[in-house]
């Protein structure tokens, strides 16, 4: 995510509850993925979980970008 997007998100968190929810979920998913990425070997179950978390994170990021686009448009 670009710095300007992050700045806009932080400015809008208090006014946009859906953005806040997506952003907080994004941070949790980043931490969970970080823990999986630090492992030297993932079990097949962990690989599936990693892919599942990545899909959820991407969907949340898309939602955040949609919200940001609404605030960028005049």
Phi and psi angles of residue 52, each rounded to the nearest 5 degrees, phi first: -65, -45
What integer is the mean pLDDT of 55-65? 96
What are the counts of helices (DSSP H) followed by strands (DSSP E) for the chain? 3, 0
Tokens matching residue 13: 């968190």
What's the whole-model pTM score? 0.84
pLDDT digits (tens, 9 = 90+) for 7-48: 888 889 899 999 999 999 999 999 999 999 999 999 999 999
14: which DSSP letter?
T
Spatial neighbors of 29 by CB under 8 A, at least 6 apart, are: 53, 56, 57, 60
């Amino acid at each position: 995510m670009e710095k300007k997007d992050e700045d806009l998100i932080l400015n809008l968190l208090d006014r946009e509850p859906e953005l806040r929810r997506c952003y907080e979920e994004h941070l949790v998913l980043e931490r969970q993925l970080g823990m999986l990425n630090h492992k030297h070997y993932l079990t097949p179950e962990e690989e599936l979980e990693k892919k599942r978390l990545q899909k959820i994170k991407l969907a949340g990021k898309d939602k955040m970008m949609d919200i940001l686009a609404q605030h960028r448009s005049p």
